[in-house]
Structure 1
């Protein structure tokens, strides 16, 4: 399976630069790619330029470009300003202008193969999100998942559902026989902080352990699981015969998608003995994977 970035051909947006809709040539820097993909995604949304498969592909590619730019050192505030410029430019160009018509056709051609993809991997620094756009009316299965092993504890985390309806879930198996009675997601509070907490202490951010990608003492925002049950075999991690499934509110997925891809979140499991087990998840390209799922392949 090719890396998602290879499926978005920057040359398809080169015309956008020539039209004066982009400040620089396509692909010249991560922040420039973010501008170009944001511009066409916003124009597509405003003018109804693309089929759902292409529009979701553009949004996914935009989020990947954002993650790449952040990992390359672009400040989050600068990227927000870049997005605002792209949105303003997209809103100022008439939907029926020849420039937009030509650029939109180039984008459609670039994504002809992408629209038929069923599965795609989104590699992160330490873990990978695996996306699956299959749809079943009978079977519940993972649509976007990250496999985590922490000591002897195993967890599958991500979006699972039936018939295209996705729920944020954690399915875990623990080294002890004790069953967790509750779970919650803990992440950086976005409204009370100015950006990601990354405790590098001179180390490479690309290899930074997940516990050091979350503030030690807050401020946090948390999301308590809405439901708990024994996990079905189709949702369990590989080789695991039994485990516990927790479903979280939709707001948790939206909040996670808004985080810096270099961050981590923490899933806390609480036991009747009073103990708590914490398992960490890399945010990575969760937002890009979520956008990939937004439309069924043609």
Structure 2
């Protein structure tokens, strides 16, 4: 099944959802799709409608719909309200409702295609996330976004062997610099509740949070950028992923590499559909 065929089946499934969820739906445009998918996720949590792999596919699609709504200008607070209303509506529908059975059958048919997709691209405004669920016995990128610092390629995302992937940054330096540490820098929602939408410019220092790398090692050759023979792999704790999922998809976060002479090399990345990509690879390898 192609991505286009999956999209058409998904659209048909959402029509069934809209009929059942309509009494609580008072949203327009991209928020509608998020509401409908959030409703199905909530109904599944309550009634156990789907197998775990399909439930994870729904989670990925719901995160993607939330990102699309944010890019369209829907406020994050409004989407929180959308999710609350979807959850409330799902709680008001009986698990034995015949219309819910219709929704289940259509969603089964639509999202089953997601569970068989080995690869998917989650487009961003400036940078894309590339997800890969194909089974390999060597280390590969499971979720990757590529950037540059000067002439040095830098990739960030989930990398590893089999289904054992860790949050990783891989850089192949031009020349022979040796940074002593690396950290992720991003907006701190506790200091600045509103998204910082300024292209590749980072949020002001007073509103930032950061997380340092937990270690560095030589990067596996299969993780290197094209034509590169060596590189460093910096790993980060799972807490970093949770922090990045809180960002608006249009926001920039950065990797900072710190050197002995006090200089810092800053590499921009876009939050994008990181949450959707993470949910997609959580479905496991195919």
Match in the other structure for 2:114: 114
Q: CA 1:219 to 1:25, structure 2 compared with 1: closer, same or farther past 3 Å?
A: closer
Equivalent position of 1:127 in the other structure:
127
Q: Please name the residue that 1:156 is paired with.
A: 155
Contact persistence 1:3–1:122 (CA under 8 A): no
1:275 offset after TM fit, Å? 1.5
- Counterpart of 1:244? 232
Over 3 Å counting, the alpha-carbon distance change for 1:165 and 1:195 in structure 2 is farther
Which secondary structure state, in structure 1, belongs to the residue aligned with residue 235 of structure 2? strand
Q: Give yes or no for contact 1:8–1:61 (8 Å, CA) kept in 2.
A: no
Q: How many residues align?
A: 285
The Cα of 1:96 is off from its aligned counterpart by 2.7
Who is 1:195 aligned against?
Answer: 194
Deviations 1:174-208 (A, max 9, x none): 22311112101011002222221113xxxxxxxx3
When residues 229 and 7 of structure 1 are mapped into structure 2, their CA distance, relative to the original with a 3 A threshold, is farther
Checking the alignment, whether the CA contact within 8 Å between 2:149 and 2:266 is kept in structure 1 is: no
- SS of the residue aligned with 2:36? helix
Contact 1:5 / 1:61 at 8 angstroms: preserved in 2? no
Write the deviation string for residues 120-176 of structure 1: whole angstroms up to 9, x where unpaired: 11111111111011244x422110001112331210100112231221100012223
Q: Matched residues in 1 for 2:146 and 2:166: separation? A: 16
Secondary structure of the residue that 1:169 maps to in structure 2? strand
Is the Cα contact below 8 Å between 1:181 and 1:272 reproduced in 2?
A: yes
Q: TM-score, normalised by structure 1?
A: 0.88
Residue 294 of structure 1 and its aligned partner are, at CA, apart by 1.4
- Give 1:39 deviation, angstroms: 0.7
Change (3 A) 1:277 1:68: same
Structure 2 counterpart SS, 1:237:
coil
Q: Are the structure 2 counterparts of residues 242 and 12 from structure 1 closer, same or farther at C-alpha, using a change threshold of 3 Å? A: same
Taking structure 1 as reference, are residues 71 and 119 closer, same or farther at Cα in structure 2, changes over 3 Å only? same
Aligned to 1:177: 176
The 5-angstrom pairing of residues 60-75 of structure 1 reads: 60-75=60-75
Q: 1:3·1:121 contact (CA, 8 Å) conserved in 2?
A: no
- Is this contact kept in 2: 1:17–1:23, CA < 8 A? no
Question: 1:275, 1:110 → 2: CA distance?
Answer: 51
User: Structure 2 vs 1, CA of residues 123 and 191 (structure 1 numbering), >3 Å: closer, same or farther?
Assistant: same
Unaligned runs of 5+ in 1: 200-207
Q: Determine the structure 2 residue equivalent to 1:291.
A: 279
Gaps of 5+ in 2: none
Q: Distance in 2 between matches of 1:145 and 1:155?
A: 10
Q: Which has the higher helix share?
A: 2
Aligned to 2:44: 44
**Alignment TM-score, normalising by the size of structure 2:** 0.92
Q: Is the 8 A contact 1:115 1:297 kept in 2?
A: no
- Is residue 45–residue 55 contact of structure 1 (8 Å, CA) maintained in 2? no
